[in-house]
Amino acid sequence: WVFLWEKGYQETDSVVSSVTTKVKGVTLTNTSTLGAMIWDVADYVIPPQEENTVFVMTNVILTLNQRQGRCPELPDDETECKVKNNCVPGYVSTHSNGIQTGECVPYNSSIKTCEVFAWCPVEDDYHVPKPAFLQEAENFTILVKNNIWYPKFNFSKRNILPTINSTYLKNCIYDSQTDPFCPIFRLGKIVEAAEQNFQEMAVEGGVMALQINWDCNLDRAASHCVPKYSFRRLDNKDSAHTVSPGYNFRFAKYYKDSNGTESRTLVKAYGIRFDIIVFGKAGKFDVIPTMINIGSGLALFGVATVLCDIVVLYCMKKKYYYREKKYKYVEDYEL
């Protein structure tokens, strides 16, 4: 077990890794609010670069042309009002879009809400677009470049293997059966490999893990040290976790007109964050662990004899029979 399965004759080392990513893909949307609009990498990868992570926006709530001013708050149990006395000047809660002015103003023809000083009009995110705004994102691809190093053995390699040429790299897509070493992954396939539905996940977002395993036996040729890819969903998505599902955040794009008036477009972005997780270990023959494990094995032979004697002489049903055979009783003739 120690020598053959656990390779007790080897010195081991943990992997040191770096990861860079590049997403590609273009899609077209056509809505009554925005009209026909092209979305490319600069629009949906936010931010452009992160450490071992890439976020791809798949759904969005846009609040256009916001300016600082006074406007009605979104209606809920705390903000709906009948008269001015229902609103408290200066009041702000955790979920407020602004600071109340103390006025009660019409939100629509049937509802009045407390007026706030805020970026107006305030964001209405009660209804998440379904299907996802960028549902074509499942056809986007991500190139993962991974460099690894084992310091003890001064061994380094990358997941773009020496056998991969530029022509192959431009045309391949990862497939566990036909292209297991292609470093370009289709987003829909990543989610599918984790037994998830991309279109469902795209609506409210989520977190996926792209795992790269480098387990290398350096007693063999370096060409045998190759990456193994696997995929899983990291955030919980089941009936027991229905509160605040998915993954989203907000950011804004700011503008100034010729008069110097500032406005912004508020973006609530839903999407999938892909975390690239690299792990593994390498082993290589070394005299010291070999001698240590040989010594430990020889010592265990001595312990095994004692343990067997205890079991046979004290625990088994025929312990008296074994005792008679193990020990020979002799008489002292002098007595």
**Residue 24 marked as a ligand binder:** yes
Q: Let me know: does 100 contact 106? Beta carbons within 8 Å.
A: no
Q: Which residues are CB-neighbours of 22 under 8 A, at least 6 positions away? A: 142, 143, 145
Q: What residues form DSSP beta bridges with 185?
A: 142
Q: Is 124 helix (H, G, I), strand (E, B) or coil?
A: coil
From 29, 22, 35, 46, select the one nearest 253 (Cα to Cα).
46
Whether 154 has a binding-site annotation, put simply, is no
CA 85 vs CA 58, 69, 101, 102, 103: distances in Å? 43, 21, 11, 8, 8
Q: Is 250 annotated as a binding residue?
A: yes
Tokens coding 279: 């792990």
Which one-letter amino acid corresponds to residue 176?
Answer: S
268 is in an annotated binding site: yes
Q: What is the dihedral of CA 27, 29, 35, 39, to 10 degrees?
A: -30
Spatial CB neighbours of 127, under 8 Å, sequence gap ≥ 6 = none
Helices 287-314, 319-326: crossing angle, 10 deg rounding:
110
Q: Please list, residue by residue across 252-274, b when 16 or more beta carbons sit within 10 angstroms of its beta carbon and e when fewer do.
A: eeeeeeeeeeebbebbbbbbbbb
What are 292-300's contacts with CB under 8 Å, separation 24+?
293/2, 293/3, 293/8, 293/9, 296/2, 297/2
Those residues whose C-beta lies under 8 Å from the C-beta of residue 64, and which sit 6 or more positions away, are 33, 265
Residue 23 annotated as binding site: yes
Round to whole Å and give the CA distance between 281 and 289.
16
Binding site members: 22-24, 141, 248-250, 268
Binding site members for ATP: 22-24, 141, 248-250, 268
